[in-house]
Amino acid sequence: MRKFQKIILSLSLTILLSNNVYSIDNQNKYKTLMKNSNNISGEVEFIINKIKDRYDIPEASSEVSNMPWRNDKEFLKAKEKHNTPTLIAGFCAVLKDPLPGEEYNVNLAARKAKGLVVKPSDIFSQNTNIGPYTKVRGFKEGASYIGGNIIMTEGGGVCKVATTLYNLAVLSNLEIIERHNHSMPINYVPYGQDATVAYGVKDLRFKNTTESSILIWTEMIDNRLYMGFYGSEKPPKVIWNHEVKDIVAPSTKYIKNEKLNSGEMKTVLNGMDGATVKSTITITYGDGHYIIKNMGISHYQPLPKVIETN
C-alpha cells in the first residue's frame, strides 16, 4: 500500500512541478520526499503551498489570474461561506507615482471593500459600501481632479479603487449602472477604462446579473492593488476596444520652489494629452459567437505638465 501511495504521489508531483516554476530547493524537497515516505503529507503540503504562493506581478495594470491570497485562511473561509468557489475575474492596478495621500487612501478603501458580498440582482455602490471618504472614517487628504485642476481633498485617491472595480465588473460581464470618467486622464489604465467617484455626486454602481453571490477580495502590495470577484462560474471572454480622437497636447505650468538650487528645475508631474475616447467591448461566448457592446464616450481635458523651478 505504501509503495502504491508513493507511485501515485510521484506522478501527481511530476504533473504539479512540470511547468518549470519551482526552485532547486523544491526539487531537493521532492527527492527527500521520495526517500522518506513517513513525511508524505507534510512535504506535499509544503510543496503545493510553495507553488501556490507564486502570484502575478504585472508591470502595467492588467487582468490577472494568480492572486496573492489563494492560501489565506480568512479568504478560504469566506469563499466557502458564500459558496463562491470560482475566480470570475481578477485585476491588478499598478499605481505609478501616487500623489500625496493617495496610497494611504487607496489602501484604506481597499480594506473596506475586502469581503463585501453582492447578492444576485443586487446593485453594488462604492459610495454606499466604502464612503463617505472623510477624516472621521480614517481617510486623509489626497490629490484629486476637480475640473482641470489638481487639489487636495479628503479621500483623494479612492478613485483608484473605483477604477479597479469598474474593470472587474466589465471583465465579469456585469451590468454597469453608473460610471464617470475623470476630467483629466490618469496614468495607470488606458483612456476609457477609468472611473471616478465623489460622495453624493458621482458613484460607481454595477448590478450582479449572475445567479450566484459575488465575493470581493482585495490586497494592496507595494504599489499594486489586487482585486478579485468570486462566484460560481466563469463569464465569457471580454476584450476592450478604444477609439481615441480629438487629441489635445498638454500645457506646461511652472511653480516656484525656493528649496531648489538657483536655476534648478524639477518635473513633478508629467503631462498627458486630452482626448475624446469611444469605448466598446467584445464579448465572446463559449460557442464562439460574439457581440460588441458600447461602453460610452469619455472626454478628457489635457493634464498639464508641472515643473518646479527656482
pLDDT at residue 68, as a whole number: 97
* Residue range 123-167, pLDDT digits in tens: 999 999 999 999 999 999 877 777 666 777 778 889 999 999 999
Burial of 300 (0-12, 13-18, 19+ CB in 10 A): buried
Q: How many residues does the chain have?
A: 310
How far is CA 225 from each of CA 126, 182, 194, rounded to the nearest angstrom? 16, 19, 14
Q: Are 274 and 184 in contact (CB under 8 A)?
A: yes
* Residue range 258-300, pLDDT digits in tens: 888 988 999 988 899 999 999 999 999 999 999 999 999 999 9
* In 126-196, alpha helices (H): 126-129, 159-171
Q: How confident is residue 310, by pLDDT bands cut at 50, 70 and 90? A: confident
Q: List the grid coordinates of 100.
A: 500625496
State mean pLDDT over 105-117. 96
Q: How confident is residue 18, by pLDDT bands cut at 50, 70 and 90? A: very low
* Residue range 34-67, pLDDT digits in tens: 445 455 555 554 444 544 468 999 999 999 999 9
Of 11-15, 99-103, 107-111, 261-265, minimum mean pLDDT range: 11-15
* Averaged pLDDT score across all residues of the chain: 85
Q: Between 224 and 17, where is the model more confident?
A: 224
Residue 216 confidence (pLDDT) above 50: yes
Residue 284's CB is within 10 A of a number of other CB atoms, namely 13
Q: Between 83 and 157, where is the model more confident?
A: 83
274-284 and 237-248 strand pairing: antiparallel
What's the start-to-end Cα distance of the chain, in Å? Answer: 80
- pTM of the predicted protein model: 0.81
How far is CA 291 from each of CA 98, 172, 265, 288, rounded to the nearest angstrom? 37, 15, 51, 10
Q: List the grid coordinates of 306.
A: 508641472
State mean pLDDT over 196-211. 96
pLDDT at residue 17, as a whole number: 44
pLDDT at residue 13, as a whole number: 44
Phi, psi of 126 (to 5 degrees): -65, -45
Residue 29 confidence (pLDDT) above 70: no
State mean pLDDT over 209-223. 96
* Residue range 172-198, pLDDT digits in tens: 999 999 999 999 999 999 999 999 999
pLDDT at residue 148, as a whole number: 63
- The side-by-side arrangement of strands in the sheet containing 274-284 is 237-248, 274-284, 290-300
pLDDT at residue 121, as a whole number: 98
How far is CA 252 from each of CA 70, 267, 269, 271, rounded to the nearest angstrom? 45, 10, 10, 8
Range 31-41 burial, b when 16+ CB lie within 10 A, else e: eebeeeeeeee
